[in-house]
Structure 1
């Protein structure tokens, strides 16, 4: 039986970012498609189990990781590591985890940072066992317009890339990004401003 990967609709903030960049570089914006999104639990609702969280958020997290590490197989490994970290801390029931979505974002960012550190030090890296997740087709994850932005993001600093991806792709607030990355809100705001300026320049230079 084939595994059906849902089509992608860029989040509204990401679509607006693409439109902004397109107006500066003359590129046509990517066509939007539809994707059901899943947010964190609220109120008195019990948190999802690890299996439910994995099924609901895995593809979203792979897309997020792909923007951070610029390599699909590594992005899938990053997400597996992140879910493993969640399991080690909270078990499969996720008992005591108030905001699974926020914690998962932090786990993915931390796992991506670990991969990037290993790249910089040129250490050998053996990917963990991929688990039960189906392989992901990068063509279904990113349209061509996203790929152009991904290539430009690769030239930013790690912090700039993290701030932009969490703000525009994951649609986190400045306060949420600050908590995820361990920064002040002022640093998040100034980093985002400098990162957008640098990203626009890189896209213009690549025309």
Structure 2
């Protein structure tokens, strides 16, 4: 009987972590969603993409690298790369996919450069939207964001892309450059690690 209790407790712990991260990052996603605008009459331009997706990409980068100013730089570099490759992209969906991948890769580069003596720096306002979003987080939501910062980079990437980015396993696989099977196993390990980090944070 005792043997079957342990897997059940493990599943409940993972489910609890999933619920916490899903609530927090979905809440942020809603706060950072652009206000609905009339569809442009002509083809989507680089300026349209910048206006529609920049804020969410900055938040994505903040959740990956912690520092708002660095996140701004990562996103700016992603749009610069998009401008250089604009003629090679098929459509708006391909352009957004390019931006997400560029932000993930740019964030990885930042973390590689910072991996010695890295400290967590709480996000602060880079503009009014960022400040507003963070101010509206509950204590529990803040605990999730803090716990995310303590995860290994790949685990954090997968959770942020899934629950803040709202991406499917296939889309995460493409953005992060890993297999769908790795996405699934990484998400499972990340949720367990997140739950431990939140528990340690409360201790």
TM-score, normalised relative to structure 2 = 0.70
* Number of equivalenced pairs: 167
| Residue in structure 2 matched with residue 110 of structure 1 by the alignment | 105
- Alignment partner for residue 169 of structure 2, among 160, 168, 174? 174
Check conservation: 1:106, 1:181, Cα contact below 8 A.
Answer: yes
CA distance in 2, matches of 1:36, 1:115: 23
- CA distance 1:74–1:167, shift in 2 (3 Å): same
Note the alpha carbon deviations across 1:147-193, whole angstroms, 9 max, x for none.
32221112111110000000010010001111111111111000000
- Alignment partner for residue 193 of structure 1, among 185, 188, 191? 188
- CA distance 1:153–1:115, shift in 2 (3 Å): same
Note the alpha carbon deviations across 1:81-126, whole angstroms, 9 max, x for none.
11111111116xx86345222221111111111211222369xxxx
| Residue in structure 1 matched with residue 20 of structure 2 by the alignment | 21
What root-mean-square deviation, in Å, do the aligned CA atoms of Structure 1 and Structure 2 show? 3.2
TM-score, normalised relative to structure 1 = 0.69
Q: Which runs of 5+ in 2 are unaligned?
A: 1-14, 35-40, 118-125
Alignment of 1:50-199 (within 5 A): 50-90=46-86, 96-97=90-91, 99=93, 100-120=95-115, 135-136=127-128, 138-142=130-134, 143-144=137-138, 145-199=140-194
State the 1:135 CA deviation. Answer: 3.6
CA distance in 1, matches of 2:97, 2:61: 15
- CA distance 1:166–1:150, shift in 2 (3 Å): same
Q: Which runs of 5+ in 1 are unaligned?
A: 1-15, 23-27, 39-44, 123-133
- CA distance 1:185–1:204, shift in 2 (3 Å): same
